[in-house]
Structure 1
Amino acid sequence: MIDSYSLLRPWLFSLDPERAHNITLNNLDRAERWGLLRCLIKQPVPDPRHLCGITFPNPVGLAAGLDKDGKHIDALGSLGFGFLEIGTVTPKPQPGNPKPRMFRLPQAQALINRMGFNNDGVDACVKRVRNSAYWQNGGIVGLNIGKNASTPIEDAASDYVSAMEAVYEVASYITVNISSPNTHNLRALQEEDMLRSLLGSLHLAREALSDKYGIRKPLFLKIAPDLNQSDIKLIAELLLEFKIDAIIATNTTIARDAVKGLQFGEELGGLSGAPVRNASTEVVMNLKQHLGNAIPIIGVGGILSGADALEKISAGASLVQIYSGLIYRGPNLIAECAAKLKK
């Protein structure tokens, strides 16, 4: 099968990254409407994985951030992902940070973004999820939630609870994003007192929502790669205490050692792609040591090949997610990873 993305990539890389991102997704939508995607894109081998009460058709998912608003669910679902994670969405719409806010570092197979949770608000996203054929036909859609930039960090829990209440009915699972470096003070929520308070509020809210809807939706937590071993141990203990169902490791990094001297290497924001691979894998390994088989881990960060995906699974992850790898390798990376992970 011809890898059409490798032919298009030089042109896309000549454009501003955010513009190229939007053009790509809009054209994927067109191709999906015309019924072309499943013909053009190699589909992954079936390989069901069962965790958190969900059957994932294969273990390769889309990481949050690529489709922040749920505008492209059907097109992305046609690429063969085992699951999609949409967001980060916030209770109220917000524009995010000023442009430019996304940068490519091709020499390092990396991206830096400081998008800042730009989104249309949770209600608009939920409506799009409901209207998507992918969701209506049983596709796995996780909703990644965050706080509005204007909400003081002391009041963050109210935003997360509000967002969880809004997405609860449609989400296959809900991810609590406390690890983006692009919302002021957000990563402070990973500290013990704030995290304990946040998880306590979410635990109580989920109990109420479980009673209301008659179903207990899985709750995941997404953490940063820039944590030390004592931070990871503490988070693992809190996950068990508050009955969090899974942990996503990891988000982007604020470290810059791997891209020093490169154009855009000192831009503010989260660094993703190949440079974060080792750090995220190490976090997965550390979490596995503390959690054993009690809570599943979803590995994400620097997956640009099937071998990279297998590395995450070997380190202790049960599923993987990709994002930056799609920018550099294209959608055939999904089938490559799925084939490498096939049991």
Structure 2
Amino acid sequence: MQKLFLILIFIVSISTILSAQIVNGDTLTVDGKKILKVWGTHQERGYAYGYLMGSEIKEIAEDYIIGYVFGNNSFLYENFRSYILEHFEIEEKYHTETEAMVSGIVESGVDIYSSVLGRELDAFDILCANCIVDMSGMNMYAPNISFGCSSLSSWGESTLVDPNLFGSLVITRNMDWTPNETLLYNHLLLVNFPSEEDEVPWLSFTFPGMIGALSAINQNGIAAFMNMGNMDTANYEENLHPIFLSIRNGIEMNDYDNNSINDQFDVYQAVEDALHLSGSIIHCVNEESGIVVECNNIMGTVYRDEDDNTIIPLNNLAATNHFRELYSPVYCYRYVNISDSLNANPNISV
């Protein structure tokens, strides 16, 4: 009888091992900064993301999204979630990815119950977190929402004197969201190696739980950095798409616009193909030059390049939080400061 019992335990143990999903991911910490590498399908990458970063994902959801942005007000948060559910169209691949992420979190042993919401966190909560910047265009109140960001790209004559650059393009990124303690201690470099034939490897400077592209670079040398715009009035509220996921489509999908050229216009096309709720300014570059994509709900999507500069010298592009092509430019002290610095000393170095 004891022998039979041991055999049954062995069979159950083997069955459990065989049924457990392989974790297609690995983590590394360099100088206190977390790096997560995932590979495989959207499902496999999502599962690995959740399994390896479950505690951090829950911390961002509870302490930053629900706790800080929504002030631990479940009514406000659930209204936000309901709005996303009713007005946004999100591709099935991202639903698959976030569902697998939650499965990974649970199987890693992390409790996903939220005492504020009175329920377990689910895949759609993860998708809602990836719509956090879109809420700038919503007719709702969140007590602690503050986004910004700015960027400068320089190339050619601007970087020629630096021996490390010698004319190559360099981009300077200022990530000035609200200095929330949970965010400050949870920066993440996410490296994706997709197995889908129409996708390319890419990396994202982000926070745990975020699957979209806020600051991202792909294998083809295309980079995109999203800044908030200053005009968020919305007239069209159906079939909306999260701006982070639109940018990801342009970065992750190989040659998004199908013109046999991998360049920054792949990101432009991905943004133009979707309707967005809030105003965004996306700084897109390849290894030689850049464009700044501007979009909002009413005016659609346009872009500008160095030929549209007025006070910024050529071989440079600056993007802050004020539209300069979608609308007539208004005064922006940061844009003026960048211009003054470049005109005083046009040489950019690392």
Give the TM-score category using the shorter length. Answer: under 0.3
State the TM-score, normalized to the length of structure 1.
0.26
Is the strand fraction higher in 1 or 2? 2
Is the helix fraction higher in 1 or 2? 1
Greater C-alpha Rg: 2
